[in-house]
Structure 1
Amino acid sequence: MLLKKAVRIFIISIIFFHAGYCKVYKGNDGSGVFTLLPSERWLYGNASAVFLFDKEKKLDIQKASLLPESEWIHSKHNTAFGILETTLWYRLDVKTNVDVENWVLSLDTPSMSRIEFYVQDPITNTYTKKLGGRKVSLEELAYPNRYPVFPFFLPKGKTVRLFLKVETESATLLPLRFFTDKDFDKFDRLTSFISGAYYGAMILLLMYNLVLYFSTKDRLFLFYCIYLFCFAFFIFNSNNQWLPLVDFSQNTFIIMLGPVFSLLSTIAATIFTWVFLFPEKENTRIKKLLKFSILMDTLALLSMFFLSIVDHIRIANIVPMFGIIIITMAAILRFREGFIGAKYFLIAWSFLIVSVMLFILMNLGFIDYSSFISYSPMYGSLFEGVFLSLGIGDRINRLKKEREEARQALLESQKKALEEEKRINLSISRFVPNQFLEILKRKSILEVMRGDSVEREMTILFSDIRNFTRLSESNHARDVFLLLNEYMERLGPAIAKHGGFIDKYIGDAIMALFPGGPADAIHASIAMKKEVDEMRHHLTGEFQLEAGFGIHHGSVMLGTVGESNRLDTTVIGDTVNLASRLEGLTKNFGIPILASDTVRKNIDENDDLQFREIDSVIVKGKTKPVVIYEVLDADTHEIREAKNGSYPVFYQGMHHYKMRNFQISLELFQECINACPEDNAAHSYAKRAKEFLENPPPEDWSGFLKL
C-alpha cells in the first residue's frame, strides 16, 4: 500500500510540473511571430518555430535564409527529436512590445555538439554568428555556461529572425527558452544552487555509506557507494557541469564518459540489488537473470570501444532499460516472499525508475521535452538515496541485533571485572587526577610510564594561606590539619566547577591546572576567595584567615618523574614559576588575586571580567618585563567602582613612581587612597614612595620589581 502511494504521488508530481511549468504557448500571439515577455521563466518559443534537416550538411546561413517556406516544417511544439546524427536548422521570428532590448536565448540541452546561432540585424538584414555547444571551446562560446546560451539585441516593435544550426550526434533536445538578461542571471544562479545542492546531498550519502562500510566491513555499502558515485558522475558529465571551470570541448574521451557511466551505474545498481535482496547464497532464477543483466551491460560497455558516439548514446539509453526491468522484477519477487528490506527497496526504486524511464523516453523522442523530466533523474536518485537508506538502516538494525545477542553473554561475564576496575580507578584518581591522564593520552594509570610527558598551553593557579607559619606555631597540629582539610574541602570543588583540577597540595598551598583557559582560572579564584571569606567569618581566635592567588598562562611540560618504584606527576616550566611568584606578590600589594598579562590577553572580550594594571615585574633570567593585573571582580561592587573611578590617577601615580618622581606619585596615590581607603595597592605604592623619598634607590633602579 505504501509503495502504491509513493509511486502515485511521484507520477502526479511529474504531471503537475510538466503541465504547469512548460508553457510552450506563452508569448505566442498566433501571428507566426513569437512575442517575448519579460519576467517569465517558462517562456518557450518552439510552438512558433520551423525546422528542417540538412542531412547532406550543405546549407549555410545565406542559403538557409533564402529557402522557401515550403522547405520548412512547422514545429508543433517538437523539442525532442530523438537520437540523431545530422544537422538540424531551426528558424524563429521574435519581437517584443516592451522597452527591454537585451534578451537571452537558452537551450536546456547540454549534450549538443555544436550550435551556430544567427541573429538578424533589423536595419541591415545581415546575420551575426555566435557559437555554443559541448564541442565549442570556452573562448569561442557566446556565453560561458554549461548550456548553450546566446545573448541578443531586440529593439521594441521590431521583428528579428533567428536561426539555429545544430550539429548533433546524441539525443536532440532543443527547447528554445527566452529570458531578459537580468532574469536569466537570476535563473542561472538558481539552477546552479539546485545542482550544487543535489551534488552536495549525493556526496553526503556517499560519505555516510563509506563510513558504514569501513565500520561494518559489509560489502553492501561498498557496492552502494560505487553506484552512487557512478550515477552522480553520469549526471554531472551529462549536464556538462565542467563548464565554465574546465574546458573539455576537444576531449572526446570526456564526452564518452556519459554513456560509459550510464552502463556502469546500471551494473553497480544490479550488483547492489543482488547483495541487498539476496543476502543468502542460494541460487534462484531471478539471481541468474541479474547475472545475465550484468553480463549484457558489460558486453555493451566493451562494445563502445568499437562504435561511434551516436551508437554509444543509443546503447546508453536502451540497454539499461533491460536492467531496470530485471531489478524491478527481483524486488517485487522478494517483497512477495516477505523479505522486509524489499519494501524499502521498491519504494526507493520506484522514484528512480519512473524518472529514468521518462528521461530515456524523452531522449529517444517518444515524449516531448519537459524541464522537470530533464532534471527528473536528479530528483529520482535523491529520493531513492533517502528511502534506500531506510532499507539499509533496517539491515543494519538486524545485524546489530544479532551481534548484540552474541555480545550480551560476554558483557555479563566482564561486568564484575569492570566494576572492580572502576573501584580501583576511582581510588587512584584521588591521587592522580583523571584530567592528567587525559592530557597524557593514557586510558588508565596502568599505562603511565616514567618519563611520559607532553607540552601544551595551560593556565596555572597557585593559592596559599598567608601567615600559615604563625598559624602552625600558635595552634595544635591536629587543629591545623582540621583547618587545612576544611580549607581544601571548600576550595577543591570551586576549582573543579570551573574546569580545573588540582595537580598537587604543597603544605597549605594548592597548585591547580586549567586546560580550558585563563577565564576558567579567574572565575575559580573568585569563587575560592569567597569560600575563604566565609571560612574567616566562622573562625574563632585572633588568626585572620586570608589567601592569595597567582595566575599565569603559558607553555608548560606535564609528565611523570621519579624512579622505577616511586612515581609522581608534575608540571614544570617558567609558567609554573611565575604563577607561584605572582601568588607571593599578593602579600606585597595586599591584593587577593594577581594575574599576568598573558592571562589578560587570552580572555575573551565577552567574559565580563575587570582588571586593573598594578605593576610590571622582571623574572629572574628574563629581560622583558611582565605586566601584572589585579582582578577587580574579587572586590565588592562599591570598592570596584571606586577603584575604577580613581584608575587614571593610579596609572599616573605608577608612571611618576617609575620616573623617580616620588613626591608626585605619593600625592597621586594618596588621592587614590582618599577615593578608596580599601585600595591596598595604592597603600603599597605610597609606602614605597615615602621610603624612596627618605632613601632614594640606586642609579640602576628601573622601577620594575625583580622576581
Structure 2
Amino acid sequence: MQEEQLSKEELLLEIEKLRQEVENLKREKTDLEILLETTSLHSDSVEAELHDKALEAVREGEAKLAQFLEAIPVGVAVLDATGKPYYANRAAVQLLGKGVVPSITVYKIPDIYQLYVANSPHLYPVEELPISRALNGETSMADDIEVHQGDLIIPLESRGTPIFDSNGKVIYAISVFQDISDRKKAEAERQRFTNELFELNLNLEKALDAELELTDAYGRFVPHQFLYFLGYESIVDVKLGDQVQQEMSVLFADIRDFTSLSETLTPEENFKFINAYLSRMEPAITENNGFIDKYIGDAIMALFNGEADGAVQSGISMLQTLADYNQQRQNSGYVPIKIGVGINTGTLMLGTVGGQNRMDSTVISDAVNLASRIEGLTKEYGVQMLISNQTFSRLHNPADYSIRIVDQVKVKGKSEFVTVYEVFDSDPPEVREGKLGTLKRYEEAMLLYHQKSVREAGKLFEECLQKNPEDRVSQIYLKRCRDWRSLLKDF
C-alpha cells in the first residue's frame, strides 16, 4: 500500500517535528533523573513515590512519541549508537517489507532489507546510506535507493539525521524515508516529453535547414533578391504570374567577338573559360548591392535597386577585374578578352512567366531593352562602358567619376533620341589620363559639332587626337566632321 507522498519541504518539516519530540523526551528524562538524585535524602516512601511518578512520566513521553511516529505518513527507522536497528514505525515496515531485526548491525542493512542502487543490480553501499552517515554525525539525503520486495520495486527518498546527547555524542541515528514512485513516474514522463520535444525541434530544424538548402540551391537559379522584391522568403511560395513594379538600374555586359573565340575552343574548354570569366565578374556585382538576374550565354544581366551609383561602380569593378584576368591569361599564353558594359535606369516589372510545369523569373521593360542596346553601342564607339542619361541623372555625384558625353542616338525600337555617356575610370592609365587631359577641349568640340560648326569642331577633335591618338570617339567625330564638310562642298 502506497502512503501519501510528501514534498521535500513537508518531509523536512516532519523530520524537524521528530527531532523536537526526541529532544523533549530527552529533557523530560534528564529532569526526572535530577529529581531522583535530589530525593535521595528523603524517606524511602517519598523516594518511591517520586520514582513511580518519574517512571509514569517517561512512559507517557514514550507513548506520546510512539503515537506521533505511527501517525506520520512516512517511514521512520532508528538505529542505536552501536548501529543496531532500534525502532521502525508502521510506514517503515510497509515500505521495507519487514520490521526491526535486532540481531543485525548497520553493515547488514542493505542485504537484509534488499536496498539497491536505483536502476542497477547492485546493493546500495552501506557507507552511503543516509542512516549510516547519521551514525557518523552527518545529515544527508538520497533519492536513488530502491527497495526490492520480490517482483515489487519501490523507489525511496531518504534523509538521515543524527541525535546527540548533552556531550555531543551520537546516541541515535534516524532515517525518514518515503515512496517516490509517483515522482519518478512524473520525472520519467517529463523526460520522455522533453525527449519528444527535442526530437520534434530537431526534426523542425532539419526541415528548416532542408528548406534553407532548397532555397539556397534555387537561389543559384532564382536570385534571393528576386524573391525579396516579390515579398517571399522561400522559392516554394512563388506562384506563376507574381509580379511587382520597381525602379532599378539594369547592367548588361557582353564579351566582344565571343563567337570567334569559342570556335577555337573545345566544348569543355568553352565551359571552363565561361565559368572562369563569370565567376570573376559576379563579386563585382554582389559587392555593389546588385544581383545577377540571368546569364545569357557569355552575357550578364544584373539589376541594382536604389541609386544608380551601385551599377556604375559595379561596371568599373568588372572592367578592373577583367584587366587583372587578362594579365593572367597573357601570362598563360591566352589572348586577352574585351567586354562592353551598358547601363540604363528606369521602371521595370519583375515577375514570373511560363506554365504550370515550367516557369522562370524575368524582367520586362523598355528600360531593360535599352540597357542591352546601349551595351551594343560600346562596340560602335570603341569604348568599354556606356550609361544612359537616365542613369547619369540619378548618380549621387557625377563628378566622382570620369565621364564624358558620347552621343545622342536613336536606338532600334525607340522614337526618341537617347543621350549616352562614357565612363572611363577603368581605362588603361595612359588612355584615361589622355581623355582627362583633353576633356575640356573634347566637350567644346562636341558642343560645336551639335551646333553644326563642323569645321571648328573638327579642329578641336584633331587636337584631342594629337594628345590622345587612341581616343576612338574623337576619331569617329573627326570623320563625321570631315564627311559633313565634304557633303557641304558637293552642294
What range is the shorter-chain TM-score in? 0.5 to 0.7
Residue in 2 aligned with 1:590?
A: 382
Residue of structure 2 equivalent to 1:684? 476
Which residue does 1:420 correspond to in 2? 210
Q: Kindly indicate whether residue 260 of structure 2 is the aligned counterpart of residue 470 of structure 1.
A: yes
CA change 1:645–1:468 in 2 (3 A) is same
Shift of 1:586: 0.7
Superposed displacement of residue 686, structure 1 = 2.1
Q: Which residue number in structure 2 is paired with residue 217 of structure 1?
A: none
Q: In the alignment, residue 225 of structure 2 is paired with which amino acid? A: Q
Residue 602 of structure 1, aligned match among 388, 394, 400: 394
Task: Describe the SS at the equivalent of 1:633.
Answer: coil
* CA displacement at 1:459 relative to structure 2: 0.5
Indicate the residue corresponding to 2:348 in structure 1: 556
Deviations 1:131-151 (A, max 9, x none): xxxxxxxxxxxxxxxxxxxxx
Asked whether 1:456 is paired with 2:246, we answer: yes
Deviations 1:21-51 (A, max 9, x none): xxxxxxxxxxxxxxxxxxxxxxxxxxxxxxx
Aligned to 1:227: none
Contact 2:384/2:424 (CA < 8 Å) preserved in 1?
no
Shift of residue 499, structure 1, vs aligned partner? 0.7
Quick one: distance in 2 between partners of 1:670 and 1:607? 26
Structure 1 residue 653 corresponds to structure 2 residue 441 = no
Q: Which residue of 2 aligns with 1:634?
A: 426
1:137-286 to structure 2, matched below 5 A, reads: none
Q: Is the 8 A contact 1:611 1:630 kept in 2?
A: yes
C-alpha distance after superposition, 1:426-481 (max 9, x if no partner): 11111111010001111211111111111110000000001112112233232222
Aligned length: 296
CA deviation vs aligned residue, 1:234-270 (integer Å, no higher than 9, x gap): xxxxxxxxxxxxxxxxxxxxxxxxxxxxxxxxxxxxx
2: CA distance, partners of 1:619 / 1:495: 26
Q: What letter corresponds to residue 523 of structure 1 in structure 2?
A: Q
User: Cα RMSD (Å) of the superposition?
Assistant: 2.8
Of structures 1 and 2, the larger Rg is shown by: 2
| Distance (whole Å) between structure 1 residues aligned to residue 435 and residue 207 of structure 2 | 59
The AA in structure 1 aligned to 2:397 is E
Equivalent residues in 2 for 1:25-424, closer than 5 Å = 410-424=200-214
What displacement does 1:558 show? 0.7
Per the alignment, do residues 697 and 508 of structure 1 end up closer, same or farther by CA in structure 2, a change over 3 Å counting?
A: farther
1:519 to 302, 309, 334: 309
Deviation at 1:517, TM superposition (A): 2.5
Per the alignment, residue 361 of structure 2 pairs with 569
Q: Give how far 1:515 is off.
A: 1.2
Aligned to 1:618: 410
Contact 1:459 1:521 in 2 (8 A): yes
Q: Does 1:673 align with 2:461?
A: no
Please identify runs of 4+ aligned residues in structure 1 that moved more than 6 A. Answer: 404-409, 696-699
Structure 2 Cα separation of the partners of residues 667 and 480 of structure 1 = 46
Structure 2 distance, partners of 1:550, 1:681, is 16
Partner of 1:362: none
| Cα distance per residue 1:375-417 (max 9 Å; x no partner) | xxxxxxxxxxxxxxxxxxxxxxxxxxxxx99987753341111
Q: Is the 8 A contact 2:442 2:464 kept in 1?
A: yes
Shift of 1:623: 4.4
Which residue type is aligned with residue 505 of structure 1? Y
Closer/same/farther in 2, CA of residues 622 and 411 from structure 1, 3 Å limit: same
Equivalent residue number for residue 429 of structure 1 = 219
Which one of the candidate residues 315, 325, 329 is aligned to 1:535?
325
2:364 aligned partner, one-letter code: I
Residue 237 of structure 2 aligns with an amino acid whose one-letter code is: E
What is the aligned counterpart of 2:299 among 502, 509, 527?
Answer: 509
2:282 aligned residue (467, 485, 492) = 492
1:659 to partner: Cα distance: 4.0
Q: Aligned pair in 2 of structure 1 residues 473, 511: CA closer, same or farther (>3 Å)? A: same
Q: Give 5+ residue unaligned stretches, structure 1.
A: 1-403, 700-707
1:595-641 alpha-carbon deviations (Å, 9 max, x no partner): 11121111112982232111112344544432211113223555444
Distance 1:636 1:474, change over 3 A: closer
| TM-score for both structures, normalised by structure 1 | 0.39
Counterpart AA for 1:604: H
Letter in 1 for 2:313: H
Q: Deviations over 1:122-173 (max 9, x none)?
A: xxxxxxxxxxxxxxxxxxxxxxxxxxxxxxxxxxxxxxxxxxxxxxxxxxxx
Q: Distance in 2 between matches of 1:606 and 1:614?
A: 15
Percent of aligned positions with the same letter in both sequences? 41
Q: Give the secondary-structure state (helix, strand or coil) at the position aligned to 2:263.
A: helix
Aligned partner of 1:438 among 210, 216, 228: 228
User: 1:650 corresponds to which letter in structure 2?
Assistant: Y
SS at match of 1:474: coil
Equivalents in 2 of 1:617, 1:405: separation in Å?
Answer: 71
Q: Structure 1 residues 607, 653: closer, same or farther in 2, change over 3 A?
A: closer
Distance of aligned partners of 1:683 and 1:451 in 2 relative to their CA distance in 1, 3 Å threshold: same
CA distance in 1, matches of 2:197, 2:346: 47
1:609 maps to a residue whose letter is: Y
Distance 1:405 1:686, change over 3 A: farther
Q: 1:474 to 1:606 in 2, by over 3 A?
A: closer
1:691/1:424 CA distance change after superposition, 3 Å: same
> Secondary structure of 2:213's match?
helix
> Does the CA contact (< 8 Å) of 1:594 and 1:629 recur in 2?
yes
User: Structure 2, unaligned stretches of length 5 or more?
Assistant: 1-193
Tell me, yes or no, if the aligned pair for 1:519 and 1:607 is still in contact at 8 Å: no
| Secondary structure in structure 1 of the residue aligned to 2:401 | coil
Deviation at 1:693, TM superposition (A): 4.2
Q: For the structure 1 residues 431 and 697, does the alpha-carbon distance in structure 2 shift closer, same or farther, using more than 3 Å as the test? A: farther
- Give 1:560's aligned amino acid: T
Instruction: Decide whether the 8 Å contact of 2:256 with 2:340 is kept in 1.
Output: yes
Query: Structure 1 625/533 Cα, relative in aligned 2: closer, same or farther at 3 Å?
Result: same
Q: Is the 8 A contact 1:588 1:684 kept in 2?
A: no
